[in-house]
Amino acid sequence: MTVKLQIARCQLGAALSLFIRDKDPLSVHALACGGAEIIEGIAEHANLPTLSTHILATFPDIDRAKIVRLRNQYWNALKHFYARDNKTARDDEELMADFNDTKNDAVLFMGWLDYMTVAKRLPVEVQVFQVWWYATNEGRMNPQADPTPWRRAFPGIASVPRHEQKRRLRRALEKHRKDKGILADSRTELGPLEVPTPR
């Protein structure tokens, strides 16, 4: 594993771990955006398709800069004190007043989808999260996509409060984390979601 791929994997893993446990949404966002930016760069450098290239092909009126701005709007507030002139303090009060945990859904989904393109495998937790994302974002899906898999896994989830949606995500993870069929699949990345500290 290259250093950059390892960095992206660590950030995305830590972000999703916190997200699943409903902890520290600001840190989730910072980690997820950092990992997503790096993994997208790795994919582009290897001439692999990314979610951004799919969006650009599907919506030709959207340009690359707009995608980056949308992904980075809160992340920039989290990582920068100064504005672009490096003299003026940023005023992010109004922007961050709109921030909540739902802002993490898309960036986590995007980062892990690009990771799959590069690594060809995903941890069990990510596989369950992706199905959860489809179920909670059905309106964003291609109308021709068959909704049966995510509706079966998470029936009625779009109509329940956010805390219950997250609880159902954790419950599904407990159910599938040791599923022998999933673990035996070559598309499953084995090992912990968070990378342990080397001894």
**pLDDT tens for each residue of 47-63:** 998 877 766 666 667 77
Q: Residue 23 and residue 20: Cα distance in Å, rounded?
A: 8
- Beta bridge mates, 82: 89
Is 189 inside any structural domain? no
Asked whether residue 76 is domain-assigned, the answer is yes
Task: Say if residues 133 and 173 touch (Cβ distance below 8 Å).
Answer: no
Residue 93 lies in a domain: yes
Any domain includes 107: yes
Residue among 174, 190, 194 nearest 182 (CA): 190
Domain membership of residue 193 (yes or no) is no
Question: Is 191 among the domain residues?
Answer: no
Q: Is residue 196 part of a domain?
A: no
Number of domains in the chain: 1
Tokens of 73: 């709007």
d(CA 80, CA 183): 40
Q: Which domain holds residue 164?
A: 3-184
Give the pLDDT score at 140: 79
DSSP reduced 3-state for 138: helix
Q: Which tens digit of pLDDT belongs to each residue from 70-124? A: 778 899 999 999 988 889 999 999 999 999 999 999 999 999 999 999 999 999 9
Question: Mean pLDDT, the chain, as a whole number?
Answer: 91
Q: Tell me the CA distances in angstroms from 68 to 82, 99, 120, 122, one per residue in order.
A: 19, 17, 24, 24
Instruction: Examine residue 49 and state whether it is found in any structural domain, yes or no.
Output: yes
